Each structure stands twice: as structure tokens, then as C-alpha cells.
Amino acid sequence: MSEVTVRVQKVRTASLKRKLIFFGALAGLLVAASFFSSYLCPWDPYEQNLALAKAAPSADHLLGTDRYGRDMLSRVIAGSYTSILSTLLLVAFISVFGSIAGIFCAWSGKRLDTLVMRLADMFLAFPGLVFALAVAAVLGGGVQNAIFALAAISWPKYARLARSQTLAQQELPYMQAARMAGCGTLGLIRRHVVPNIAGPILVTAMLDIGTMMMELAGLSFLGLGAKPPIPEWGSMMSDTRNLLATHPWVTLAPGFAIFVSVMIFNLLGDTVRDWLDPKNRR
């Protein structure tokens, strides 16, 4: 490898590291702000003041007020708790559950593997969001039921990924050496399989955050997620969509929050994928 190539590779690695730190910091700030949202709201997000209903943005209310006179900035900040933390909980659950299912399918033998994978195929055969709408409608709506509906359609992707990665690891020489050294099944999974398949699963989960946030907001927009007066970005847009032409700030404020959050998490996911790619770190 020439000196110029080495220098270019070092510059690329340093650039990736800066991007990873930058987008990671932005995502961390979003998560921290959503967790402490109750302390960051300048006004009570539930307090109604009909005298200020649909007021335009001003120094007192930076994003204006909604039809009930509630401060939109406070509503958007409070809504981040439901929108962001619910999404992170959903992605964490489907990635862990799906990965565990995939790993044990690869190790268990043909009978359980066939059963679980055919079940996964059944879930994947339906259009994802349509199936989630049906499940959420049957369960009656609500944030918890929306999370359950999206989890039901999303875990098979991780199960298939973990299964394929585990099957590939089983054929490698170091696994045979570990078996000959007396390492049991759980030890092999914990010490060798999980660390080696964590990268692709982590990248998939990071890229899934934006998608799950959009789908969770979509269910709420259709009335199958968070219920008013709980502040949630999708529900807030649905509740005020008829005011878009006359009082656009009421609808655009939560929409812009979704846009910024999804963009940050998608950029972070892309950066993590590039950082974990061996071609970019040689």
C-alpha cells in the first residue's frame, strides 16, 4: 500500500470519527432532552387558555399555540418523551428478541428452526404497515398497543439476520477450536457468536430508528397510537391537520420535530455503518 493511499485512509478514518462523534452527540442530546422534557417545557403542555387559542408565534410562545391555547413549543418538547423514547424501546425490543430467536434457531436444529422461520415468513408476507394497522386496530389503539403492533411485524428481520450470521460463524475454524477446548453451547454463543454478529445487528437497529419513528407517528396520525391530550408528534399533526391552511405553525411544529429527529438518527446510522465497515478502517 502506497504512502498516498495510507494518508487518504487516515483522513477518511478521522473524518468518519468526527462525524460519528458529532451525530452521536446530537442523538444523545435528543434522547437526553426527551428524557428530561418535563423540566425543559417553558409552559405547562396541558394548560389550556382559550383566550390565546391559535395565537401566532411570538416572544412568549415561540411556536404559537394550538386551538386550546396550549403552548406548542411545550407540547413539542413534551411529545419527544413519547415519540423518541417509545421508538428506542421498540427498536431495542425487536433487535434483542429477534436476535435471540435467530441465534437459537441456528443452534437448535432443523425442527425449531423450520417452525420459527416459517412463522417469520408469515409475518414478512404481509405489507408491514398494513399488518401493523390491523393489529393496532384489533388491540384498540394506544401507545403500548402501537408498539406491540410494530414489534410483531419487525422482529423477523433481526431473526433472519442473526440466524444467517450465526450459521456463518459456526463454520469458521475458531469455533471448531473452541468446541475442542471444551466450551459449551452457551459459552460459544456468549463469548464468540454474539460479539461477532453484533456489528450488523447494531447497524440495522440504528438505521431502523428513523423508520420506526415514522411508522409510530403514522399509527398515531391515523388514531391508532397515542390518544389526546397526550402529546405525541403524530397525534398532534393529526389533531391539527385541518388548520394547516390557516394556522400552519400548529401542524408544522411537530412535523418539523419528526423531520429533524429522523434525519439525525438516519445520519448516525449511516455513519455507524461506515465506521464498522472494514474497508473504511484498513
pLDDT at 275: 85
pLDDT at 3: 63
Range of the domain at 252: 3-280
CATH number of the structural domain spanning residue 253? 1.10.3720.10
Q: pTM of the entire structure?
A: 0.89
CA–CA gap between residue 220 and residue 226 (Å, rounded): 5
The number of folded domains in the chain is 1
Cell numbers of 131, please?
399488518
pLDDT in tens, the chain (282 residues): 566 566 667 767 788 889 999 999 999 999 999 999 999 999 999 999 899 899 999 999 999 999 999 999 999 999 999 999 999 999 999 999 999 999 888 887 778 888 888 888 888 887 777 888 888 888 887 888 899 989 988 999 999 999 888 888 877 787 778 777 777 777 778 888 888 888 889 999 998 999 999 999 999 988 888 887 888 999 999 988 898 889 998 999 999 999 999 999 999 999 998 888 766 655
Residue with grid cell 410494530, as numbered in its chain: 150
DSSP letters of 7-73? HHHHHHHHHHHHHHHHHHHHHHHHHHHHHTHHHH-SS-TT---GGGTTPPP-SSSTT-B-TT--BHH
pLDDT at 7: 67
Residues 6+ apart with CB under 8 A from 205: 91, 92, 95, 158
Q: What count of other Cβ atoms lies within 10 Å of the Cβ of residue 56? A: 10
Helix (H, G, I), strand (E, B) or coil at 144: helix
pLDDT at 8: 62
Cell numbers of 129, please?
404497515
Q: How far is CA 121 from CA 32, 56, 64, 94, 126, in A?
A: 37, 50, 47, 16, 9
Cell numbers of 43, please?
409552559
